[in-house]
Structure 1
Amino acid sequence: MRKRFPPISDKLPVFMHGADYNPDQWQHDPHVLEEDIRLMKLAHCNVMSVAIFAWSALEPEEGRFDFGWLDRVLDRFAEEGIFAWLATPTGARPTWMSHQYPEVLRVGANRVRNLHGMRHNHCYSSPVYREKTAIMNAKLAERYAHHPAVVGWHISNELGGDCHCPYCQEAFRLWLQKKYGSLEALNLAWWTSFWSHTYTDWAQVESPAPHGERMVHGQNLDWKRFVTDQTIKFYMHELEPLRKVNPELPATANLMDLFEGLDYRKLAKVLDVVSWDAYPTWHQPPDELGQAVHFAFNHDLFRSLKHKPFMLMESTPSLTNWQAVSKLKKPGMHRLSSLQAVAHGSETVQYFQWRKSRGSSEKFHGAVVDHVGHEHTRVFRDVAELGETLEGLHEVLGTSTDAKVAIMFDWDNRWAVKDAQGPRNMGIHYENTVIQHYRAFWELGIPADIVGPEDDLTGYKLVAAPMLYLCTQETGEKLERFVRDGGMLASTYWSGIVDEHDLCHLGGFPGPLRKVLGIWAEEMDALYDGEQNGIVLQPSSAGVLPGLAEEYDSVQLCELVHAETAEVLGVYRDDFYAGRPALTVNKLGQGRAYYLATRAADPFYRDYYQALCREAGVEPLLPALPEGVSVQARSSETEEYLFVMNFNGTVRQVMLDQQTYRDVESGETLRGGSLELSAYGVRILARQVQGK
Structure 2
Amino acid sequence: MSRMESFRRRVGGFAFGGDYNPEQWDREVWQEDVRLMREAGVNTVSLGVFAWASLEPEPGTYEFGWMDEIMDLLHENGISVNLATPTAAPPVWLTHLHPEVFPIREDGHPFGFGNRMQYDPSSPIYREYAARITTKLAERYSFHPALAMWHISNEYGPTSYGPAAAANFRTWLKRRYGTLDRLNEAWTTRFWGQVYTDWEQVDVPHIPRTWMNPTRRLDFKRFTSDALLECYVAERDIVRSFRDDIPVMTNFMRFFRHADYWKWAPEEDAAALDIYPNPADADSHVSAAFNYDLFRSLKGGQPWMLMEQSSSAVSQWQLNIVKEPGRMRLGSLQAVSRAADSVMFFQWRASRGGQERFHSAMLPHSGPGSRTFREITDLGREVKLLAPVAGTRSRSDIAIMFDWDGWWGLEEVFGLPRSDFSYTDTVMRHYTPLWERHHAVDVVGHASPLDGYKVLIVPNAYLIDDEAAARVHEFARNGGTVIMSFFSGVVDADNRVRPNGYPGAFRELIGAKIDEYWPARPHEEFAVTFADGRRATATWWRDDLHLESGKALATYADGLLEGRAAVVENAYGAGRVVYFATLLEQDAFDTTVARVVEEAGVRSRFEGVPAHVECTVRGDDAHEYVFLLNHSAEAGASVPVGGEGTDLLTGQAVPGEVTLAPLGAAVVQIARA
Alpha-carbon separation, structure 2, partners of 1:227 and 1:5: 29
- Displacement after TM superposition at 1:389 (Å): 0.4
Alpha-carbon separation, structure 2, partners of 1:186 and 1:121: 31
Deviations 1:217-263 (A, max 9, x none): 11011000111111111111112221111012211111111001111
Query: Does the CA contact (< 8 Å) of 1:466 and 1:495 recur in 2?
Result: yes
Could you tell me which residue of structure 2 aligns to residue 22 of structure 1?
Answer: 21
Query: Does the CA contact (< 8 Å) of 2:480 and 2:575 recur in 1?
Result: yes
1:354-373 superposed matches below 5 A: 354-372=348-366
Query: Does the CA contact (< 8 Å) of 1:7 and 1:397 recur in 2?
Result: no
Q: Which amino acid aligns with 2:425?
A: N
- Displacement after TM superposition at 1:524 (Å): 1.6
Deviations 1:140-174 (A, max 9, x none): 01111111111111111110021122222111111
Query: Does the CA contact (< 8 Å) of 2:251 and 2:274 recur in 1?
Result: yes
Query: Does the CA contact (< 8 Å) of 1:8 and 1:273 recur in 2?
Result: no
Q: Which amino acid aligns with 1:362?
A: E
Say which of 260, 265, 268 aligns to 1:268: 265
1:474 and 2:474 correspond: no
Could you tell me which residue of structure 1 aligns to residue 665 of structure 2?
Answer: 682
Alpha-carbon separation, structure 1, partners of 2:18 and 2:407: 32
- Displacement after TM superposition at 1:43 (Å): 0.8
TM-score scaled to structure 2, two decimals? Answer: 0.97
Deviations 1:547-577 (A, max 9, x none): xx71222221111211111121111122110
Alpha-carbon separation, structure 1, partners of 2:399 and 2:619: 17
Query: Does the CA contact (< 8 Å) of 2:119 and 2:158 recur in 1?
Result: no
Say which of 557, 560, 564 aligns to 2:544: 560
- Displacement after TM superposition at 1:369 (Å): 1.5
Could you tell me which residue of structure 2 aligns to residue 665 of structure 1?
Answer: 649
Could you tell me which residue of structure 1 aligns to residue 344 of structure 2?
Answer: 350
Could you tell me which residue of structure 1 aligns to residue 631 of structure 2?
Answer: 647
1:520-531 superposed matches below 5 A: 520-531=513-524
Query: Does the CA contact (< 8 Å) of 1:657 and 1:671 recur in 2?
Result: no
Relative to structure 1, the CA distance from residue 313 to residue 665 in structure 2 (aligned partners, 3 Å threshold; closer, same or farther) is same
1:326 and 2:320 correspond: yes
User: 209-218 or 562-571, which moves further after superposition?
Assistant: 209-218
- Displacement after TM superposition at 1:664 (Å): 2.4
- Displacement after TM superposition at 1:324 (Å): 2.2
1:338 and 2:332 correspond: yes
1:635 and 2:628 correspond: no
Could you tell me which residue of structure 1 aligns to residue 34 of structure 2?
Answer: 37
Could you tell me which residue of structure 1 aligns to residue 573 of structure 2?
Answer: 589
Deviations 1:31-56 (A, max 9, x none): 10000001101111111110000011
Q: Which has the higher contact order (CA 8 A, sep 6+)?
A: 1
Query: Does the CA contact (< 8 Å) of 1:443 and 1:606 recur in 2?
Result: no
Say which of 383, 402, 422 aligns to 1:429: 422
Alpha-carbon separation, structure 2, partners of 1:22 and 1:632: 35
1:417 and 2:410 correspond: yes
1:389 and 2:382 correspond: yes
Secondary structure in 2 aligned to 1:326? coil
Secondary structure in 1 aligned to 2:508? helix
Secondary structure in 2 aligned to 1:269? helix
Alpha-carbon separation, structure 1, partners of 2:664 and 2:9: 32
Alpha-carbon separation, structure 2, partners of 1:529 and 1:636: 51
Could you tell me which residue of structure 2 aligns to residue 245 of structure 1?
Answer: 242
1:178 and 2:152 correspond: no
- Displacement after TM superposition at 1:7 (Å): 5.5
Secondary structure in 1 aligned to 2:528? strand
Query: Does the CA contact (< 8 Å) of 2:313 and 2:360 recur in 1?
Result: yes
Could you tell me which residue of structure 1 aligns to residue 295 of structure 2?
Answer: 302
Relative to structure 1, the CA distance from residue 537 to residue 330 in structure 2 (aligned partners, 3 Å threshold; closer, same or farther) is same
Secondary structure in 2 aligned to 1:609? helix
Gaps of 5+ in 1: 540-548
1:281-320 superposed matches below 5 A: 281-284=278-281, 288=282, 290-307=283-300, 308-320=302-314
Alpha-carbon separation, structure 2, partners of 1:657 and 1:343: 15
Secondary structure in 1 aligned to 2:569? strand
1:122-137 superposed matches below 5 A: 122-137=119-134
Could you tell me which residue of structure 2 aligns to residue 154 of structure 1?
Answer: 151
User: 568-577 or 447-456, which moves further after superposition?
Assistant: 568-577
Query: Does the CA contact (< 8 Å) of 1:566 and 1:585 recur in 2?
Result: yes
User: 270-279 or 626-635, which moves further after superposition?
Assistant: 626-635
Say which of 76, 83, 88 aligns to 2:85: 88
Query: Does the CA contact (< 8 Å) of 2:636 and 2:661 recur in 1?
Result: yes
Secondary structure in 1 aligned to 2:172? helix
1:407 and 2:400 correspond: yes
In the TM superposition, structure 1's runs of 4+ consecutive aligned residues that sit over 6 Å from their partners are none
Percent identical residues: 36
1:514 and 2:507 correspond: yes
Q: Which amino acid aligns with 1:392?
A: L
- Displacement after TM superposition at 1:294 (Å): 0.7
Alpha-carbon separation, structure 1, partners of 2:6 and 2:479: 36
Alpha-carbon separation, structure 1, partners of 2:295 and 2:626: 20
Could you tell me which residue of structure 2 aligns to residue 542 of structure 1?
Answer: none
Could you tell me which residue of structure 2 aligns to residue 168 of structure 1?
Answer: 165
Secondary structure in 2 aligned to 1:434? helix
Query: Does the CA contact (< 8 Å) of 2:13 and 2:387 recur in 1?
Result: yes
Relative to structure 1, the CA distance from residue 428 to residue 34 in structure 2 (aligned partners, 3 Å threshold; closer, same or farther) is same
1:187-202 superposed matches below 5 A: 187-202=184-199
- Displacement after TM superposition at 1:671 (Å): 4.0
Relative to structure 1, the CA distance from residue 48 to residue 192 in structure 2 (aligned partners, 3 Å threshold; closer, same or farther) is same
TM-score scaled to structure 1, two decimals? Answer: 0.94
Deviations 1:592-636 (A, max 9, x none): 111111111111233223212222221213121213221111121
Secondary structure in 1 aligned to 2:452? coil
Say which of 583, 603, 616 aligns to 1:599: 583
Alpha-carbon separation, structure 1, partners of 2:225 and 2:546: 39
- Displacement after TM superposition at 1:530 (Å): 2.6
Alpha-carbon separation, structure 2, partners of 1:529 and 1:350: 44
- Displacement after TM superposition at 1:185 (Å): 1.2
Secondary structure in 2 aligned to 1:633? strand
1:491 and 2:475 correspond: no
Q: In angstroms, what is the RMSD of aligned CA positions?
A: 1.8
- Displacement after TM superposition at 1:657 (Å): 6.2
Deviations 1:490-541 (A, max 9, x none): 11110111000000011011112122221111112212343222331114xx
Alpha-carbon separation, structure 1, partners of 2:477 and 2:486: 21
In the alignment of these two chains, the number of paired residues is 670
Deviations 1:104-140 (A, max 9, x none): 2112222333332211111222222111111111110
Alpha-carbon separation, structure 2, partners of 1:565 and 1:35: 72
Query: Does the CA contact (< 8 Å) of 1:86 and 1:154 recur in 2?
Result: yes
- Displacement after TM superposition at 1:8 (Å): 4.1
1:218-229 superposed matches below 5 A: 218-229=215-226
Secondary structure in 1 aligned to 2:298? helix
Could you tell me which residue of structure 2 aligns to residue 454 of structure 1?
Answer: 447
Alpha-carbon separation, structure 2, partners of 1:562 and 1:467: 19
Secondary structure in 1 aligned to 2:83? strand
Query: Does the CA contact (< 8 Å) of 1:639 and 1:687 recur in 2?
Result: yes
Deviations 1:421-464 (A, max 9, x none): 22323x22221111111001100101101110100001101000
Say which of 509, 528, 535 aligns to 2:528: 535
Could you tell me which residue of structure 2 aligns to residue 544 of structure 1?
Answer: none
Secondary structure in 2 aligned to 1:81? coil
Query: Does the CA contact (< 8 Å) of 1:569 and 1:584 recur in 2?
Result: yes
- Displacement after TM superposition at 1:9 (Å): 4.4
Q: Which amino acid aligns with 2:41?
A: H
